[in-house]
Amino acid sequence: MLKFIEVSKKFGQQPAVENLNLEIGQGELFGFLGPNGAGKTTTIKMAAGILKPTSGRIEIDGIDIQNQPERAKTLIGYVPDSPYLYERLTAREYLEFIGGLYGISKPQIDLRAEELFDLFGMNGWVDRRCEQYSHGMRQKVVFAAAMLHRPPTLVVDEPMVGLDPQSARIVKDLLKEYAAAGNTVFISTHTLSIAEELCDRIGIINGGRLVAAGKLEQLRSLSEQSEASLESLFLKLINN
């Protein structure tokens, strides 16, 4: 479970996120939508423990990420929007490195890494250095690294960027299955069709404030447009 309680973040005097209250339950796939600069990535980075909130609390399975960062971070897997890797490591070595950070034993890493490489169809590439990878391949490595320690909460910033249609399908199925298995999945995206297709609930953020959150039907009733597409709902809520 992922919980934001009165979370705000300022960069200097500039507010990026203001008074965010949000709870994402177990088995739920939550989509976070918003225009550029709305505060999506800042929110996700705070959830991953990379940025510190200026005020408020973030809890992962009841553990405050500020007070017990090490414990909380073992419960979360994070996929950033830009998949920067150590260029001179291979995918296998990268996963070994990440596994070491989470205290996983070598046999366990090997076993899980093979599973994930199979899942993402990466087997021909895993012993080549990351500097040779395409954007999509890097994205796959980052996904594999985030899922290596089987975290109960997965936080993904723009999951489909750079993926080919086949890999995008794999990731979509994976996210659905991951949530269906009782885990919490929190994704941010610009692609409204993905949110519409995948998410159990959707949150819309604009100017650092959460302007709406709920199931698609709830959002429709909120905007008094019962048959509207997510795109027109999104534009109406943002413009209001």
Partner 1 sequence: MNFVTHILRFRIIGVLAFFRGMDVERRIRTIVGATVLALFFFGALFFFWYLFDYLSKIREIGILLMDRIISLGFLAIFLMLVISNTITAISTLYRSGETTDLFHRPLPHRQLFIARFLDNLLYSTWGVLVLGVPIILAYGIVRGISWWGYLYEFCFILLPFTVIPGCLGVGVIIFVYLASGHLKPRTVVLGLLALLSLVIVIYLNIGQTSTLSRNILGDWRVLNSFLGSLSATSFPFMPHFWVSQTLRQLAGKPGIDLLLYTFALLSTMLVSVRLLFRAAERYYYVSWQNSYGHATTPKKAVRKFSLPAFFGLPQWLPSDFRSVLAKDLKLFIREPAQWAQFLILLVLLIIYLINLRHFPGNMTDKFWRTIISFANFAFTGFILATLAVRFVYPNISLEGRAFWAIASSPMPIKRLFWEKFFSAFIIFALLAEILAFISNIMLGLTGYMMILSFFSILLMSVALTSLSVGMGAVFPRFDERNPGRIASSMGGTITTVISLVYVCLAVIIIALPAYRYSVYTIDGTIDFPAREFIISGILLLLLNAATIVIPIRIGLKSITERDF
Residue from 25, 67, 101, 150 touching partner 1 (CB under 8 A): that is 101
Footprint on residues 112-141 left by partner 1 (CB under 8 A): 127-129, 131-132
Nearer to partner 1, 108 or 225 (CB): 108
Footprint on residues 66-95 left by partner 1 (CB under 8 A): 69-71, 73-74, 76, 78, 80, 82, 84-90, 92-93
Nearer to partner 1, 84 or 239 (CB): 84
Which one, of 31, 35, 33, 65, lies nearest residue 47 by Cα?
A: 65
Which parts of the chain fold into alpha helices (H)? 40-47, 69-74, 91-101, 106-120, 135-147, 165-180, 192-198, 216-222, 230-239
Residue 1, burial from CB neighbour count under 10 angstroms (0-12, 13-18, 19+): middle
The region of 33-41, 49-57, 200-208, 218-226 touching partner 1 under the rule CB under 8 A is: 49-57
Give yes or no for residue 62 binding partner 1 (CB under 8 A). no
Q: How far is CA 186 from CA 61, 105, 195, 197, 216, in A?
A: 14, 28, 11, 14, 16
**Number of residues in contact with partner 1, rule: CB under 8 A?**
41
Residue with tokens 């076993």: 111
Residue from 34, 49, 152, 203 touching partner 1 (CB under 8 A): that is 49
Tell me, what DSSP letter sits at residue 67? T
Count Cβ atoms below 10 Å from residue 37 Cβ, excluding itself. Answer: 12
Residue from 12, 62, 217, 226 touching partner 1 (CB under 8 A): that is 12
The region of 41-49, 162-170, 209-217, 222-230 touching partner 1 under the rule CB under 8 A is: 41-49
CA 191 to CA 93: how far, in whole Å? 32
CA 150 to CA 65: how far, in whole Å? 18
Give yes or no for residue 19 binding partner 1 (CB under 8 A). no
Which residues have C-beta within 8 Å of that of residue 237, sequence separation ≥ 6?
204, 206, 211, 212, 219, 222, 223
Nearer to partner 1, 43 or 212 (CB): 43
Residue from 102, 162, 207, 222 touching partner 1 (CB under 8 A): that is 102
Q: Which residues bind partner 1 (CB under 8 A)?
A: 12, 45, 48-52, 69-71, 73-74, 76, 78, 80, 82, 84-90, 92-93, 96-104, 106, 127-129, 131-132, 145
